[in-house]
């Protein structure tokens, strides 16, 4: 079906198309204002080697290359379910992601917090930054590592403002509006299709009925010989024409019939 035919069909069923599209728009607007946006904050932390792992007075940042494995271990410890549940128990609807920055070999740990409110995102991020340091200290203390050999974690960046995330809100709005609009157009198309099907069926029935009437009518095979009518008046035979000859009227003798000829021999016999 071409675009013009489709638009014509939708216009023909405007009482279904227009209310359906209006309902889809109202539903999409309602979801947009009902679903709140999300607030996201992130922080980045760096692992630093122990004081005995680099020369006195040198820059510890030059010796962070061997701490990638330690960053992976700390990431697993901080992102455990029990830790995340403990931190977010007073902040429902908050999601926390802890992972090592895979784009570089530097032992960087990235913490991302997504929450329904800006305050919850701020509080949970602060709690996770503090929890990372405590978990690292607990891990090293459980291994009885000396204080001078212990790895430390240093926050590099901590977001002070949340980023507004509209993705979930936008996806739900578009999905609801598109679904209702498609449903309205589908109903309009089905209604138009069923109507056309009924019209074609009615036309076919009328055409077949007309053909039947034409077959039952009188056939024009030529003139019909109805025979002589009983009530028609009898026409008298014309009288024989008499021609005069030699002044005396004479009657024209008619030819003898078959009965006269059959009686002729018997008359001759009697005369004899």
> pLDDT at residue 254 above 70?
no
What per-residue confidence (pLDDT) applies to 240? 52
What per-residue confidence (pLDDT) applies to 246? 47
In three-state secondary structure terms, 27 is: helix
Residue 63 and residue 157 in one domain: yes
What per-residue confidence (pLDDT) applies to 199? 76
What per-residue confidence (pLDDT) applies to 243? 52
Mean pLDDT value of segment 218-244 = 50
Closest CA to 170 of 42, 60, 28, 67: 28
| Alpha carbons 252 and 240: distance in angstroms, whole number | 8
Percent of the chain with pLDDT over 70: 77
| Alpha carbons 28 and 178: distance in angstroms, whole number | 9
What per-residue confidence (pLDDT) applies to 208? 74
CATH of the domain at 61: 3.30.70.1130
Residue 154 and residue 59 in one domain: yes
Positive or negative, the CA dihedral 46, 136, 75, 82 is negative
What per-residue confidence (pLDDT) applies to 202? 75
| Alpha carbons 34 and 118: distance in angstroms, whole number | 17
Q: Final residue of a domain: which of 145, 164, 183?
A: 164
Mean pLDDT value of segment 78-96 = 92
What per-residue confidence (pLDDT) applies to 94? 92
Q: Which structural domain range is residue 181 located in?
A: 4-32+168-196
14 vs 137, higher pLDDT:
137
Q: Of 17-21, 41-45, 66-70, 251-255, which has the strongest mean pLDDT?
A: 41-45
How does pLDDT run across 132-178, given as a tens digit for each residue?
999 999 999 998 889 889 999 999 999 999 998 888 889 999 999 99
Closest CA to 109 of 145, 149, 57, 64: 64
Q: What single string gives the DSSP state of each residue in 53-76?
A: GS-TTS-GGGG-GGGHHHHHHHHH
pTM above 0.75, yes or no: no
Instruction: Give the number of domains in the chain.
Output: 2
Q: Final residue of a domain: which of 149, 164, 179?
A: 164
Mean pLDDT value of segment 116-137 = 94
Residues in the chain: 272
The DSSP symbol for 37 reads P
103 vs 241, higher pLDDT:
103
Residue 138 and residue 49 in one domain: yes
209 vs 104, higher pLDDT:
104
Q: What single string gives the DSSP state of each residue in 96-107?
A: EEEEE-TTSSS-
Closest CA to 102 of 127, 71, 144, 129: 71
Residue 144 and residue 52 in one domain: yes
How does pLDDT run across 182-195, given as a tens digit for each residue?
998 888 888 877 87
58 vs 218, higher pLDDT:
58
């Amino acid at each position: 079906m071409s675009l013009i035919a489709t638009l014509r069909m939708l216009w023909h069923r405007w009482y279904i198309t227009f209310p359906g599209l209006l309902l889809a728009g109202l539903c999409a607007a309602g979801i947009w204002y009902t679903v709140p946006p999300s607030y996201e904050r992130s922080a980045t932390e760096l692992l630093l080697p122990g004081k005995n792992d680099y020369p006195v007075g040198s820059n510890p940042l030059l010796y962070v290359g061997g701490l990638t494995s330690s960053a992976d271990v700390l990431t697993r410890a901080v992102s455990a379910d029990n830790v995340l549940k403990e931190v977010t128990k007073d902040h429902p609807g908050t999601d926390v992601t802890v992972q090592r920055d895979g784009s570089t070999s530097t032992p960087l740990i990235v913490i991302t917090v997504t929450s329904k409110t800006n305050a919850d995102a701020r509080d949970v991020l602060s709690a996770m930054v503090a929890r990372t340091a405590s978990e690292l200290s607990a891990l090293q203390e459980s291994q009885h590592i000396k204080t001078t050999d212990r790895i430390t974690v240093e926050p590099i960046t901590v977001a002070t403002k949340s980023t507004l995330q509209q993705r979930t809100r936008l996806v739900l709005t578009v999905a609801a509006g598109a679904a209702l609009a498609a449903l309205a157009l589908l109903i309009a198309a089905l209604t138009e299709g069923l109507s056309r099907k009924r019209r074609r069926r009615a036309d076919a029935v009328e055409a077949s009925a007309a053909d039947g009437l034409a077959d039952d009518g009188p056939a024009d095979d030529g003139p019909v010989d109805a025979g002589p009518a009983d009530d028609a008046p009898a026409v008298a035979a014309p009288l024989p024409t008499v021609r005069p000859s030699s002044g005396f009227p004479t009657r024209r003798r008619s030819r003898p019939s078959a009965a006269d000829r059959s009686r002729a021999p018997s008359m001759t016999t009697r005369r004899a």
